[in-house]
Chains A and B, each alone.
Chain A
Amino acid sequence: GESVGLHLPTLSVQEGDNSIINCAYSNSASDYFIWYKQESGKGPQFIIDIRSNMDKRQGQRVTVLLNKTVKHLSLQIAATQPGDSAVYFCAEKTSGTYKYIFGTGTRLKVLA
């Protein structure tokens, strides 16, 4: 039950600080990446995406960085709020397909 979820990597940040969540992807042929936020009891919610021909994309309070050299993706959340507490997943899509592979997930805890 819940004990399985506790094995997720966990990032604890103070409210108002910036958060950085990292993801290593596996396939150099992946051409599209998505970050999802999943709150308890809900489905994954789209946050931001980025294509492989970009290295940075910004949204509202969120930035995604892509480093294709080391196959690394990160999600930066500015001024983290209690409502940001959730599990965050990255997903990669292989070029030429519409199949998505999900990472392990990171639990973000925002401390008041």
Chain B
Amino acid sequence: EAGVVQSPRYKIIEKKQPVAFWCNPISGHNTLYWYLQNLGQGPELLIRYENEEAVDDSQLPKDRFSAERLKGVDSTLKIQPAELGDSAVYLCASRGNTDTQYFGPGTRLTVL
């Protein structure tokens, strides 16, 4: 069974540019999470989807971040415009009908 897939794995952009990250969860997993991870720290939740509904987006900086999961399967996280402080690893995770969430490899973003 394929795990959580994320792309790209690495992205380098200049500040003020837009960037998008894509995630495909484990097949059949209805719950999808986007996390931000700064170096040396644990993941911090940005947004959680149950199917296509965003049920927890309280930590998402909505002035520049947006996310969508239109068909309840794959998801896109966007930043526009990116700032220097957005440099981090963006992790996607999914959960099926158990309590366990599984992570993808992450996208490492560097904003110059």
Interface residues of A (CB under 8 A from B): 1-2, 4-8, 32, 34, 36, 41-46, 49, 89, 91, 93, 98-100, 102-105
Contacts and interface: CB of A to CB of B under 8 A. Distances in A.
B103 A34 contact: no
A43 B106 contact: yes
A57 B33 CA distance: 26
Give the top 5 A-B pairs by smallest Cβ distance, nearest first.
Answer: A102-B42, A43-B103, A5-B40, A4-B40, A4-B39
A43 B104 contact: yes
A93 B40 CA distance: 21
Residue from A43, A49, A91 whose CB has the most chain B CB atoms within 10 Å: A43
Interface stretch (B12-20, B70-78, B94-102): B94-102
Given A32-B99, A100-B101, A44 B43 contact: yes
A4 B38 contact: yes
Contact of B91 (A5, A7, A43, A105): A43
B100 A104 contact: no
Contacts of B48: 98-99
Contacts of A93: 99
Nearest to B104: A43
* Interface bin, chain B: 20 to 34
A44 B40 contact: no
Contacts of A46: 100, 102-103
14 contacts: A4-B39, A4-B40, A42-B106, A43-B104, A43-B105, A46-B100, A46-B103, A49-B99, A91-B42, A93-B99, A98-B101, A102-B43, A105-B40, A105-B42
B31 interface: yes
A45 B3 CA distance: 11
Contacts of A4: 38-41
Interface in B28-76: 31, 33, 38-45, 48, 56
B99 A98 contact: yes
Contacts of B44: 102
A71 to B, nearest CB: 17
Contacts of B42: 89, 91, 102-105
